[in-house]
Amino acid sequence: MPQSAKTPPTSPAAPAPQPPAGPLPEATHRTVEVPGGRIHLVEQGSGPLVLMVHGFPESWYSWRHQLPALAAAGYRAVAIDVRGYGRSSKPRDVAAYRMLAHVADNAAVVRALGEETAIIVGHDWGSPIAANTALLRPDVFTAVALLSVPYAPRGGIRPTDAFARLGGPGEFYVSYFQEPGRAEAEIDPDVRGWIAGFYAAASGEAKSASDGDHVGGFSVLPGGKLSDRFPEKLPLPLPWLTEADLDFYAGEFERTGLTGGLNRYRNVDRDWDDLAAWDGAALRQPSLFIGGEHDAPTNWMADAIKAFPHTLPGLTGSHILDGCGHWVQQERAEEVNHLLLDWLGSLPASAARTAP
């Protein structure tokens, strides 16, 4: 297995060009039926299918730089709105957001697109969704790329018990998100401001200016709110996040609310029960990992990266981007596109085939 390597920015002085906010003019939007309702997706290009899965609090739009790049390289690039987001279905039942439901959604999207197999790429919550999708459906998903959150098999500790140990003097944000309505009460009065602060707090710019405390910045002090820990002096917009980008994200969440996205966190123990049969399971398809030097989950889960020789035996590349924060495919679009395309081009033909 190749060693984890820090990858310096290719052009630190010039951020990647920003496309206009909103639907990409060359891309096609549609919804497809899945067992749990419908999934909205955006696709561009033709060739082997690459399915991209976003995290919290994001959107298909988080892949706006990757869609045209992959399409231009000869791939059918598809970015979905995960259930609970955008124009996808938003079930009321918290249990409808369990990992098994997301796996079923992804497999159904591939079938709805007329394909038999796909390569899956995930960021943030999309990373464990992508990993478990490949783990449970190796017949459909032939390769997997994970951004920000390393693969960690189901283990012996119930997740909420593990999260309760984090947060320092406060409450770790995943624990804070567990109670329905609690985080929503903080977010709903100023959705745009909260999202901007959350993005800024997890960015490379914020972490470069901090003391390196990746956990404390995402904990809630007694009687406080998560937004109390957002940076006060970080200027917005950021080089990689324009006002128009923020307007797009805010418009989506002002319309839908954030409960669907938060419900993913509220299923961590349910997932632990559901995936008991896969305890400690390795993910054997060809794989890729990309994290950021200042990416909190990448740092929290350093032990998971060290375990890659055992947990990701098909790993062909592990990269830590210098100075990069959590939003890797947005903060370092050109670098991520380069790494993805190199990896996709290295896959065996059997992992990148199209439907007959």
Q: Which residues are catalytic?
A: 124, 326
221 Cβ neighbours under 8 A, 6+ residues apart: 169, 170, 171, 228, 229
Q: Are 123 and 328 within 8 A, CB to CB? A: yes
Cα angle 182-184-186, degrees, rounded to a multiple of 5: 80
Helices 243-256/191-201 angle, 10° precision: 120
**Tokens 């999309």 belong to which residue?**
126
> Contact, 226 vs 176, CB < 8 A?
yes
309: exposed, middle or buried (C-beta count within 10 Å: 0-12, 13-18, 19+)?
exposed
Long-range contacts of 23-28 (CB under 8 A, 24+ apart): 24/64, 24/67, 24/68, 26/68, 26/71, 27/67, 27/68
Q: List C-alpha distances in Å: 21 to 59, 64, 77, 128, 251.
A: 12, 9, 18, 27, 11
3-state secondary structure of 258: coil
- The one-letter code for the residue type at 295 is D
Instruction: Quote the CA–CA distance of 218 and 230 in Å, as a whole number.
Output: 9
Question: Quick count: other Cβ atoms within 10 Å of Cβ 68?
Answer: 18
Q: Which DSSP symbol is given to 238?
A: B
- Give me 13's structure tokens: 């002085």
